[in-house]
Amino acid sequence: MEPDAGANVLVTTALGDKALITMLACFKAGLTPCFVPVDLDADALTGQLGQLEAPIAIGSGEYGELRPLLALREAAMRSFHLRLAAGFGPSVPDGVADLGVVMAEDIPLPAPSKAAKNGRISFMSPQDRNRAGIVLDEPVLIAASLEVARELRATPGSRIITTMVGMDLASLASSFGTGLMAGLEVTPLGLFSLARLWACLSGSIATHLVVPAALEEALVQTGVTSHKALASLILVHAEGFDETAVAAKGPSAAIVGCATLDIWRPQPGGITVRRRHAHAT
């Protein structure tokens, strides 16, 4: 039996190429990707599968020391709703469809007979893991991405490096969403590594760096913010921060030659982008 148009797809993978492929595939098929934290255990995943009534679940085989697909397989054995559990390698366990093999061999997977009019996307808040997250229409994600791209003023040939691992509107719009809208290369670093970041900045390509706002002072201390390749620093704020404090911030003397953008989500259906200071002339 085919999944209904707009049916939920539980996704337990960190922000990166796998998450982007999954999101775009769901939009194409008229399904709703529902992103949950990658570190949920089998009990939490079972609860989410029940609340979402998701017929499909997709995850990553490995993420650091975590093995999300093992937890997903255990949850799948308890769920009455799930009809397909699939994942990206390495370490795809028995009983879970290996999407690498599926894509290589062009094996057909279930798809809705009638696509939904608009794609939808759902995020679970890391602060509230006992219920499903907010649900957004695809146009909301596109609009948020366009807003970031417009404020970024990126030039052709520049790129985005993101250290964001959480899946929410601000993280996605400021990295992959903006990359898609502006036609920029996107490099996900995943778990933050200063050595890898310096290596990425070693060339002469203009770079827009997306980081959690909590890392701002630490980045200044490392000297990364004065690197000649850094065109923009994009600071993604967590929920519940003090907006007035950000609004009061002016140009930072320690951040030279690049723009600073503050991004946050004041409400479930949108984001706010504020340019702190312009590119140096």
Q: Which residue has the higher pLDDT, 242 or 22?
A: 22
pLDDT of residue 179 exceeding 70: yes
Rounded to 5 degrees, φ, ψ at 235 are -100, 115
Comparison of pLDDT for 231 and 133, the residue scoring more: 231
Q: What is the pLDDT of residue 66?
A: 84
What backbone torsions phi and psi does residue 217 show, to the nearest 5 degrees?
A: -65, -40
Q: Can you give the C-alpha Rg of the chain in angstroms?
A: 19
Q: Which helix (H) or strand (E) holds 247?
A: helix 243-248
**Weakest mean pLDDT among 89-93, 132-136, 141-145, 173-177:** 132-136
Instruction: Answer whether residue 278 shows pLDDT above 80.
Output: no
**Which pLDDT does position 20 carry in this prediction?**
78
15-19, 114-118, 145-149 — most confident range: 145-149
The residue-averaged pLDDT of 43-53 equals 88
Provide the mean pLDDT of the chain.
78
Strand order in the sheet with 120-123: 97-98, 84-88, 56-60, 8-12, 32-35, 120-123, 134-137
Residues 6+ apart with CB under 8 A from 105: none
Residue 269 in this model has a pLDDT that exceeds 70: no
Band of the pLDDT at 58, cuts 50, 70, 90? very high
Cβ(173)–Cβ(145) below 8 Å: yes
Q: What is the mean pLDDT of residues 23-37?
A: 82
pLDDT of res. 167: 63
How is the beta sheet containing 259-267 ordered, strand by strand?
185-188, 159-162, 207-212, 230-236, 259-267, 270-277
Q: How confident is the model at residue 209 (pLDDT cuts 50, 70, 90)?
A: very high
What pLDDT was estimated at residue 52? 84
Percent of the chain with pLDDT over 70: 75
Q: Which residue has the tokens 């996900």?
A: 188
Supply the pLDDT for residue 134.
59
Query: C-alpha distances in angstroms, 204 versus 48, 157, 199, 229, 278?
Result: 45, 11, 11, 6, 20
The larger pLDDT score, comparing residue 260 to residue 105, is at: 260
Q: What is the pLDDT, as a whole number, of residue 68?
A: 87
